[in-house]
Structure 1
């Protein structure tokens, strides 16, 4: 077959295959056009799930008569006109394909009136070349797009449509997402001449939560945590549910980038990571969040349906979202919990009573050796306290463990960070101390050639005279070996890069602590490594760290607390 130009109608149908997946896709494209046109009221009228009819009416600026025919042409748009516009898109639409694509797979009529025109005009396309026909019409200011018999000329596409109920549910979800993007617009949704949804326009941030409740339900808004964080030109605001109030389904996860609804893995991962270990596997993060940043810092021209974006500083955006959500959670905690010491912040302290209780609730084959209602003796409390903090264990404990470590095996995890190990007796392995030991070795090796610095999303300016003086007094080459890059001014210091271990910390506090430890290299390395110690471990990770302990030529005694089976009940009485 020779190379030839495709007929316009066929080219438009190919484009429709990328943009128009189902009736909900039509609704999304048409409503976004309404919003770009400055509408304050949008009405969506659906018949038979959208397969019979989709009519979208707005009170926006309208389309002039001379541009109506052009509006139905492919690659015709009022949103952009140059490459520079494409690199900083402010509007929801910009491709100029939606109306042409929809009209190629349906019977589409476009009616519009501008404030300057006395007469409204109507346009539709017919024939192989899809030439637009115009006629006068009766219509108030604004635009109505009437789409009938969707996919009537593409039977293969039409047969893949689901039931009317299913297709309408997708349309309803699209409107829910758009309603959360534009609080200032009134939306009305009808199905088969019955009003299904009405979202009244709200103008103030205090009223936004009312619409959020309409869309997401009172169970979300009753326990919601508000977020409003800004660093330079980047802002994250919205609402997120605490871990205990998160839903079991991922049906309330709304994320917007500059007003555009997104399903972005990077952003979703940042929010999920902010929950840490507090979110169970049976629950999903629940949130309504809005990210605002300069248009030139995000590329929305990635996917035909505009569901995805690409950030120019993806890692920094990820870290900003993570830190902002985590900060919101921290602010909700009591003051004593919100400002832990360095050791407890990284999970190094444990409740002796809770630890004893979890040991008593181990695997069934060991339960009979534990008292039913024990009270922990003062000596047992001291043993647990010594174990739960990185201090050296007694010599007799060390000797007892060394004889059995080679053939030992992990039975279970206690307190999420201790491994119960069995051989000739029971022993508890402090997984955090093992990992901390490993990280110190790694940091020591890396520090010889220099730690890799990572840029902060927003550089942190320090103005406290003490820390500024202290940092300026340090050799910049020494700081560079630690992955730290500064920009010094007369009365301030701006932190540009830090090692990965400090990226999620309070930079001002971390710089002060780092300077105080520069004279003791071993203490500095131990402090840096502490920031990357986990707070909980899986069974597979416990096996890994047990093997690491086996492979050490001189296994530190502080890794262990050994307890023989006969003596354990006595210790717990």
Structure 2
């Protein structure tokens, strides 16, 4: 058979085989185009699980008339124009083949109107050469893509579609993932003319409202907030403690630069972060966001863009693992013993009246030398204490919590969050030291080049060094630091070890100042309001609301009223 060019329609259908797997694939590609166009309101209409119709309406920037035919052509896009753009992709789409692929296996029409254009236009393709046709239309600012009869011309692909309920379930799951990637976008999902999902737009500060609608309040009530940053890489979001994790892996949401991911390396890091706290019956539950420079991640490695490749994969894995592990361990130690509330006064009185007036089941048959116990001799039931009216107002300078205490003489005060975190962590380190600190392996062992420091280390008992979680090993003529306490992993190892050696030389047991120094190496540099509320609770419950952490804020003297 001679070599020849394939017809455009056949080439598009081949490409569609990689990109368009089922109706949910169509919805994903079209929603990503809408988000890239700046839309903040999307309405998705589905009929018969997507096989009959998929229509997506947005209020984005729109497409001008002259570019509508290009929008339906393969490899035509406004998102990249050079190799440099491809190496630093910031948009969700970039290949320019989604609309062409969809139009080759379905009946697609594209209607759009930019704000600068008075007339809306509709485009569609027909024939073997996929030539675009244009016609005027009535449409508000934005774009509507209407896809009908998916796989009508490829019966083999249509035969492999599941039931309408199953296919719509995939679309619903997809919309949940998109809803958690963009809180600022309103999303409405209709199926067979009935509204199934409605996610109003919320601000980032109210993200838990959107998460509660998508994942459920069972997750938001127990989830721990995480916000860690190292060398330009930031991980933030919410992760459930082991006891709050679900029995199914249906609440695992991970995003890299706003793009939803299912990456095995990231999943492995998260699973390891739970250590042995997660049983085989439960799956890790989380909503996490990883942000890093676009140049450090390659998203052009999967046809459906479900996977990415990190330039520093091992470092990312280690960063995600340690950040989540630290939050889980901190919150496990800070969790109160129970969350029961005191009974009401009326209930306590009723219980007191039901108590037996005598300790003897037969009050008349009292033994010699014993006295009947009356209700008056019973210890009084402690009345419930009124809840404190104190509340946290805001975070000042990212390090202090402004709290309002109506019952105190100085009603406004600044709570020193870093001092609370330092003292709390110092106590944790001291307790762990009784059985020996757990060292964390370094991704790249550090060679000790300071001969004087090495000799000082050799002069100290190895048991004392090991009890601090530090491991030195000799390889050839070199001495390498292979593990250190987790607080020192991201510090200058040589400088930190110098501090440790100096302490071991002058003290048989580490003093309090050493634990303060160790804790300060892992302090947060900024606090969100959620984090501030957590450390406020630690201050109240474990530090006995000590005044040492407060800075009073004096209110100005108010002038007399004018009337």
Partner of 2:379: none
- Measured in 1, the distance between the counterparts of 2:284 and 2:40 equals 32
Give the drift of 1:514. 6.8
Partner of 1:474: 453
- Measured in 1, the distance between the counterparts of 2:163 and 2:28 equals 19
Cα deviations across residues 346-391 of structure 1 (Å, max 9, x unaligned)?
689xxxxxxxxxxxxxxxxxxxxxxxxxxxxxxxxxxxxxxxxxxx
Cα deviations across residues 520-573 of structure 1 (Å, max 9, x unaligned)?
9xxxxxxxxxxxxxxxxxxxxxxxxxxxxxxxxxxxxxxxxxxxxxxxxxxxxx
Q: Is the 8 A contact 1:190 1:196 kept in 2?
A: yes
2:265 is aligned with 1:234: no
Helix, strand or coil: the match of 1:474?
Answer: helix
Give the drift of 1:515. 6.3
Partner of 1:501: 483
Cα deviations across residues 220-260 of structure 1 (Å, max 9, x unaligned)?
11101001111232111100000001000000000000000
2:170 is aligned with 1:165: no
Matches within 5 A, 1:284-303: 284-303=283-302
- Measured in 1, the distance between the counterparts of 2:56 and 2:131 equals 23
Helix, strand or coil: the match of 1:341?
Answer: helix
Helix, strand or coil: the match of 2:284?
Answer: coil
Q: Is the 8 A contact 2:445 2:482 kept in 1?
A: no
Partner of 2:17: 17
Q: Is the 8 A contact 2:109 2:147 kept in 1?
A: yes
Give the drift of 1:340. 3.7
Q: Is the 8 A contact 2:109 2:146 kept in 1?
A: yes
- Measured in 1, the distance between the counterparts of 2:312 and 2:145 equals 39
- Measured in 1, the distance between the counterparts of 2:239 and 2:430 equals 22
Q: 1:454 aligns with which of 444, 450, 456?
A: 444
Q: Is the 8 A contact 2:245 2:284 kept in 1?
A: yes
2:311 is aligned with 1:312: yes
2:435 is aligned with 1:344: yes
Q: Unpaired runs of 5+ in structure 2? A: 335-423, 459-470, 505-563
Q: Is the 8 A contact 1:453 1:499 kept in 2?
A: no
- Measured in 1, the distance between the counterparts of 2:430 and 2:144 equals 57
Give the drift of 1:329. 1.3
Partner of 1:462: none
Cα deviations across residues 71-116 of structure 1 (Å, max 9, x unaligned)?
0000011110000000000000001110000000000000000011
Going from structure 1 to structure 2, the CA distance change for 1:516 and 1:347 (only over 3 Å counts) comes to closer
- Which range moves more in the overlay, 243-252 or 337-346? 337-346
Normalized against structure 2, the TM-score is what? 0.65
Helix, strand or coil: the match of 1:501?
Answer: strand
- Measured in 2, the distance between the counterparts of 1:47 and 1:160 equals 18
- Measured in 1, the distance between the counterparts of 2:27 and 2:293 equals 28
Matches within 5 A, 1:376-387: none
Cα deviations across residues 401-457 of structure 1 (Å, max 9, x unaligned)?
xxxxxxxxxxxxxxxxxxxxxxxxxxxxxxxxxxxxxxxxxxxxxxxxxx997179x
Partner of 2:244: 245
Helix, strand or coil: the match of 1:278?
Answer: coil
Cα deviations across residues 32-61 of structure 1 (Å, max 9, x unaligned)?
000000001000000000000000000000
- Which range moves more in the overlay, 499-508 or 85-94? 499-508
Partner of 2:406: none
Partner of 1:326: 325
Q: Is the 8 A contact 1:235 1:291 kept in 2?
A: yes
Matches within 5 A, 1:423-462: 454=444
- Measured in 1, the distance between the counterparts of 2:139 and 2:480 equals 61
Partner of 2:102: 102
Cα deviations across residues 263-321 of structure 1 (Å, max 9, x unaligned)?
00111111111100111111000000000000000000000100000000001111111
Going from structure 1 to structure 2, the CA distance change for 1:49 and 1:453 (only over 3 Å counts) comes to closer
Cα deviations across residues 180-236 of structure 1 (Å, max 9, x unaligned)?
00000000000000000000001132x100000000011111101001111232111
Q: Is the 8 A contact 1:331 1:338 kept in 2?
A: no
Work out which structure has the larger RCO, using CA pairs closer than 8 Å and 6 or more positions apart in sequence: 1
Q: Is the 8 A contact 1:330 1:338 kept in 2?
A: no
Matches within 5 A, 1:473-552: 474=453, 499-502=481-484, 504-507=486-489, 508=491, 512=496, 516=500
Partner of 1:138: 138
- Measured in 2, the distance between the counterparts of 1:338 and 1:134 equals 70
- Measured in 1, the distance between the counterparts of 2:248 and 2:59 equals 37
Helix, strand or coil: the match of 1:250?
Answer: coil
Partner of 2:64: 64
Q: Unpaired runs of 5+ in structure 1? A: 349-450, 457-469, 485-496, 521-573
- Measured in 1, the distance between the counterparts of 2:237 and 2:18 equals 32
- Measured in 2, the distance between the counterparts of 1:339 and 1:186 equals 49
Partner of 1:555: none
User: Greater helix share, 1 or 2?
Assistant: 1
Q: Is the 8 A contact 2:238 2:287 kept in 1?
A: yes
- Measured in 2, the distance between the counterparts of 1:67 and 1:3 equals 33
- Measured in 1, the distance between the counterparts of 2:27 and 2:445 equals 42
Partner of 2:545: none
Going from structure 1 to structure 2, the CA distance change for 1:91 and 1:509 (only over 3 Å counts) comes to closer
- Measured in 1, the distance between the counterparts of 2:443 and 2:295 equals 26
Matches within 5 A, 1:110-149: 110-149=110-149
Give the aligned CA root-mean-square deviation in angstroms. 3.1
Helix, strand or coil: the match of 1:55?
Answer: strand
Helix, strand or coil: the match of 2:288?
Answer: strand
Going from structure 1 to structure 2, the CA distance change for 1:232 and 1:53 (only over 3 Å counts) comes to same
Q: Is the 8 A contact 2:59 2:142 kept in 1?
A: yes
Going from structure 1 to structure 2, the CA distance change for 1:340 and 1:298 (only over 3 Å counts) comes to farther
Q: Is the 8 A contact 1:237 1:290 kept in 2?
A: yes
Going from structure 1 to structure 2, the CA distance change for 1:510 and 1:475 (only over 3 Å counts) comes to closer
Aligned length: 393
Helix, strand or coil: the match of 2:274?
Answer: helix
